[in-house]
Amino acid sequence: MIETNQITEALQKVREKSPLVHNITNYVAMNNTANALLSIGASPVMAHATNEVEDMVGIASSLVINMGTLSEKWVEAMILAGKKATEKAIPVIFDPVGVGATPYRTQVAQQIIEKCKPTVIRGNASEIMALCNSNLKTKGVDSTLSSNAALNSAKLLAKSTNAIVVVSGETDYITDGKRVTSINNGNTIMAKVTGMGCTATAITGAFAGAEKDLFIAAVSAMAIMGIAGEMASEVSKGPGSMQMNFIDQLYKISNIDIEQRLKIKYE
Amino acid sequence: MIETNQITEALQKVREKSPLVHNITNYVAMNNTANALLSIGASPVMAHATNEVEDMVGIASSLVINMGTLSEKWVEAMILAGKKATEKAIPVIFDPVGVGATPYRTQVAQQIIEKCKPTVIRGNASEIMALCNSNLKTKGVDSTLSSNAALNSAKLLAKSTNAIVVVSGETDYITDGKRVTSINNGNTIMAKVTGMGCTATAITGAFAGAEKDLFIAAVSAMAIMGIAGEMASEVSKGPGSMQMNFIDQLYKISNIDIEQRLKIKYE
Amino acid sequence: MIETNQITEALQKVREKSPLVHNITNYVAMNNTANALLSIGASPVMAHATNEVEDMVGIASSLVINMGTLSEKWVEAMILAGKKATEKAIPVIFDPVGVGATPYRTQVAQQIIEKCKPTVIRGNASEIMALCNSNLKTKGVDSTLSSNAALNSAKLLAKSTNAIVVVSGETDYITDGKRVTSINNGNTIMAKVTGMGCTATAITGAFAGAEKDLFIAAVSAMAIMGIAGEMASEVSKGPGSMQMNFIDQLYKISNIDIEQRLKIKYE
């Protein structure tokens, strides 16, 4: 069970340590995620050249791999960086954007899981289910998934990968295969802003770079995302102002905001 | 002649169907266009890997090809995706950004027109004129263009390509070579926000993915762009707030806004 | 010594001439910098294909090379464009983002300086120091740098490259190796918005494309950045609104704003 003060303390650690988060991410969300990382107190770096990703990840506190707009050369870089990070015990956060939409995406996601051994995987319900399915299949394990059971998929995926798995949605679930914590903050308009999921993954990278307990880090990231999103939605007129206000709220979010608004549950 | 209710109905279709719009577009405008598509009610996907574009376009309702920041590998992907879309009768919307500025752009635009057979082409006056010119030339047809006649170019281009051609500017012209509809909404500050043209093309993709009559789709897209732009400009202090407010207005635009503001003409 | 009216006149020239600024820049800041260039009155173009960069730079008023998210193909394009620009006496503005962070970055920065002969180099203190160090080293010159002396590094770098060197930070320094001008405008929240440095470099490109005296151009760019940033910060609630308001202010900045707020010093 995670106490509210573990979340506020994790946020404090991010702001004090200002972890360098190395992102190999998609073109659409780069600007948003860089701004989100700066606003929460982390230090973003984006670098994808195979000539330098190993050096770059070597000086980073965490690595975020997001396959939103993937291509061969970038996948090569993701794997190089991910292997190096794992070697150096730097947490790897993986966002399998669109896995299941095309065979290529499914294959790349599988490859990244096998070679980079991510410590946290974050996706929406359909991504986590697709990923779980393909992961079990490639391991010759029969899927025991019921069709809508994203949480079940998340648990199975966590067990088969040893990663903490985050399913984001109206309710966010965070599981290590045994424990399940859920966050009920946020607002539906967040789904109308591009790259919000990618931002959640990047923010998880920030917390994983500052808080050693990765389960606390993942829960804290989703709590902060939800609460900042909730506060931003209250002063926004549409997705455009929402995108802007969300960044402002990440910057301003206080312990009191967290204490008053956090909706957390344990299974 | 297009009635106002055909435009409001097309918008309704976009919001109900939430068409998946596959974009192969430029780096500058990706975030804007993804947000614009979400705000109007469509579902954007950006994917450019040659390993997956054919699969991705296969599940899409329309394909937007925008050559703003082109390079060889991306052009290859554009053509693969465009051919597959044409094969499957998925509408292809083409934005020949900067055609005429360099020989490479002119050549790529020509190639895309020949191989992808776009159903709608949208550009500004100078792009449409450059494209018309090169298209006629490469077909060994003498140009009969007078120098400033973007509308004439648009008609000729429409006839020689079988595409609906949109010339955007202070007045937007939509033509299939015979019919011409013009839209007089919008505000000059739109030209101070990067990627507004690219967004118009993407929004055309959204309408083309939901409204079968592509002429209605193109007219509707330009009408919505103009009206949302006009409303956004009334509450904006400069190009920065304009970019944000425009997204909010796309999200909020109502039938009444359209009925009260639409300035449409038929030739 | 630069008079205030030289700055307001340079701004006037940018707005009248609307110089075409060719940017080969990073994915994160492309949207910001394009909007900033439009807002200040310039005309941005982003193009990076080796098939066209020489043609594109040939019609441009200045070239901005920014190595934020570099890769081999892009470096090739940077060098092709830079050489062509130098050949045609088009000013080259170089932003050595992250130089020193990885050996690859240091090597690329060195290569660009040697082959493209930038006329202005802009970076933060640590970038300018790293660049100076590597530049002196590769020339077999002993470094005489004291550890925190970014201004000294800037002077040495300016002398060894014949470029005007800009060190941006709380105080911005502009030097040609002999003269030093400093600007004390701006606000610390600018550092919380991604790509502000990249925007400063792009704005320098705008001024260099309109004002022949490149020292005046560089000073004017930093003055405008600082003053617009200062004004934006006064109406912003966080980094999100700051990013938006900054673009609005670039668009609205007037001679009176400059005259009333400019904090300039000469050594």
Is C177 touching A (CB cutoff 8 A)? Answer: no
Query: pLDDT value at position A193?
Result: 97
Query: pLDDT value at position C136?
Result: 63
Q: Residue C68 and residue C126: Cα distance in Å, rounded? A: 15
Q: How far is CA C37 from CA C18, C20, C146, C200, C207, in A?
A: 9, 9, 36, 10, 10
Is B59 touching A (CB cutoff 8 A)? Answer: yes
Query: pLDDT value at position B141?
Result: 44
B134 min Cα distance to partner chain C (Å):
17
For range A228-235, the mean pLDDT: 98
HEC states along chain B? CCCHHHHHHHHHHHHHHCCEEEEECCCCCHHHHHHHHHHHCCEEEECCCCCCHHHHHHCCCEEEEECCCCCHHHHHHHHHHHHHHHHCCCCEEEECCCECCEHHHHHHHHHHHHHHCCCEEEEEHHHHHHHHHHHHHHCCCCCCCCCCCHHHHHHHHHHHHCCEEEEECCCEEEECCCCEEEECCCCHHHHHCCCHHHHHHHHHHHHHCCCCCHHHHHHHHHHHHHHHHHHHHHCCCCHHHHHHHHHHHHHHCCHHHHHHHCCEEEC
Q: Number of A:B CB contacts under 8 A? A: 85
- pLDDT tier at C147 (50, 70, 90 boundaries)? very low
Beta carbons of B170 and B190 less than 8 angstroms apart: no
Residues in C closer than 8 angstroms to B111, CB to CB, are none
- pLDDT tier at C134 (50, 70, 90 boundaries)? confident
- Return the residue of C nearest to A57 by Cα: C102
CA gyration radius for chain A?
A: 17
Residues in C closer than 8 angstroms to A38, CB to CB, are 191-194, 239
C46 min Cα distance to partner chain B (Å):
6
Query: pLDDT value at position B148?
Result: 47
B231 min Cα distance to partner chain A (Å):
13
Is C213 touching B (CB cutoff 8 A)? Answer: no
Q: What does residue C135 show for φ and ψ, rounded to 5 degrees?
A: -70, -45
> Could you say which DSSP state residue C145 is in?
-
Taking an 8 Å cut-off on Cβ atoms, the answer to whether A49 and C32 are in contact is no
Residue C121 β-bridge partners: C94, C165
Taking an 8 Å cut-off on Cβ atoms, the answer to whether C59 and B26 are in contact is no
Is A252 touching C (CB cutoff 8 A)? Answer: yes
Give the whole-number percent of chain B exceeding pLDDT 70: 95
Query: pLDDT value at position B145?
Result: 43
For range A226-250, the mean pLDDT: 98
- pLDDT tier at A83 (50, 70, 90 boundaries)? very high
Query: pLDDT value at position A114?
Result: 97
B192 min Cα distance to partner chain C (Å):
6
Residues in B closer than 8 angstroms to A243, CB to CB, are 35, 244, 247
pLDDT digits over B77-94, tens only?
A: 999 999 999 999 999 999
C72 min Cα distance to partner chain A (Å):
7
The sign one gets for the Cα dihedral A256, A260, A262, A267 is positive
- Return the residue of A nearest to B34 by Cα: A194
Taking an 8 Å cut-off on Cβ atoms, the answer to whether A238 and B249 are in contact is yes
pTM of the model: 0.95
Query: pLDDT value at position A136?
Result: 63
Residues in C closer than 8 angstroms to B243, CB to CB, are 35, 244, 247
Taking an 8 Å cut-off on Cβ atoms, the answer to whether A35 and C237 are in contact is no
3-state DSSP assignment of residue C207: helix
Query: pLDDT value at position A146?
Result: 41
Residues in C closer than 8 angstroms to B103, CB to CB, are 52, 55
Taking an 8 Å cut-off on Cβ atoms, the answer to whether B56 and A101 are in contact is yes
Q: What b/e string do you get for C106-119 counting C-beta neighbours within 10 Å, with b at 16 or more?
A: bbbbbebbeebbbb
Q: How far is CA B229 from CA A204, B27, B225, B245, C176, in A?
A: 36, 22, 6, 8, 45
Number of CB atoms found within 10 A of residue B125's CB:
18
Which residue did the predictor score with more confidence, B150 or A235?
Answer: A235
Query: Which of A14, A30, A61 best tests the C interface by mutation, with the highest count of C CBs <10 A?
Result: A30
Query: Which of B102, B188, B199 best tests the C interface by mutation, with the highest count of C CBs <10 A?
Result: B102
Return the CATH number at C225.
Answer: 3.40.1190.20
Quick check: B12 pLDDT over 90? yes
Query: pLDDT value at position B137?
Result: 60
> Could you say which DSSP state residue A14 is in?
H
Query: pLDDT value at position A140?
Result: 44
Q: Which has the minimum average pLDDT: B31-35, B134-138, B167-171, B192-196?
A: B134-138
Is A79 touching B (CB cutoff 8 A)? Answer: no
3-state helix, strand, coil in chain A (%, to 5): 55, 15, 30
Residue C106 β-bridge partners: none
Q: Tell me the two tokens of residue B241.
A: 């707030």
Query: pLDDT value at position A134?
Result: 79
Quick check: B257 pLDDT over 80? yes
Q: Which has the minimum average pLDDT: A130-144, A210-224, C227-241?
A: A130-144
- pLDDT tier at C267 (50, 70, 90 boundaries)? confident
Query: pLDDT value at position A137?
Result: 59
Amino acid residing at C56? M
HEC states along A86-149? HHCCCCEEEECCCCCCCHHHHHHHHHHHHHHCCCEEEEEHHHHHHHHHHHHHHCCCCCCCCCCC
pLDDT digits over C169-219, tens only?
A: 999 999 999 999 999 999 999 999 999 999 999 999 999 999 999 999 999
Q: Residue A267 and residue B56: Cα distance in Å, rounded? A: 38
A244 min Cα distance to partner chain B (Å):
8
Residue A63 β-bridge partners: A22, A92
Taking an 8 Å cut-off on Cβ atoms, the answer to whether B192 and C73 are in contact is no
Query: pLDDT value at position B134?
Result: 79
pLDDT digits over B213-238, tens only?
A: 999 999 999 999 999 999 999 999 99
Is B51 touching A (CB cutoff 8 A)? Answer: yes
Taking an 8 Å cut-off on Cβ atoms, the answer to whether A45 and C101 are in contact is yes
- Return the residue of B nearest to C46 by Cα: B69
Q: Tell me the two tokens of residue A193.
A: 């802003």
Chains within contact range of chain C (3+ C-beta pairs < 8 Å): A, B
Is B47 touching A (CB cutoff 8 A)? Answer: yes
Quick check: C135 pLDDT over 90? no
Is C104 touching B (CB cutoff 8 A)? Answer: no
For range A83-112, the mean pLDDT: 97
Is C73 touching B (CB cutoff 8 A)? Answer: yes
- Return the residue of B nearest to A27 by Cα: B27
| Count of domains for chain A | 1
Q: Residue C181 and residue C70: Cα distance in Å, rounded? A: 31
For range B142-167, the mean pLDDT: 80
For range C150-169, the mean pLDDT: 95
> Could you report the predicted ipTM of this complex, rounded to two decimals?
0.94
Query: pLDDT value at position C149?
Result: 65
For range B149-157, the mean pLDDT: 90
pLDDT digits over A109-155, tens only?
A: 999 999 999 999 999 999 999 999 877 655 444 444 443 469 999 99
Q: Residue A46 and residue A26: Cα distance in Å, rounded? A: 10
The candidate with the shortest Cα–Cα distance to B49, out of A93, A103, C74, is A103
Query: pLDDT value at position C143?
Result: 40
Q: How far is CA C12 from CA B218, C4, C253, in A?
A: 39, 13, 11
Taking an 8 Å cut-off on Cβ atoms, the answer to whether B102 and C55 are in contact is yes
Residues in B closer than 8 angstroms to A72, CB to CB, are 49, 51
Residues 6+ apart with CB under 8 A from A47: A22, A24, A53, A56, C69, C98, C102
Taking a contact as any Cβ pair under 8 Å apart, which residues of chain A between 221 and 240 contact chain B?
A: 236-240
C217 phi-psi bin (left φ>0, alpha ψ -120 to 50, beta other): alpha
Chains within contact range of chain B (3+ C-beta pairs < 8 Å): A, C
Range of the domain at C248: 4-266
Picking from B98, B191, B244, the nearest residue to C45 by CB comes out as B98
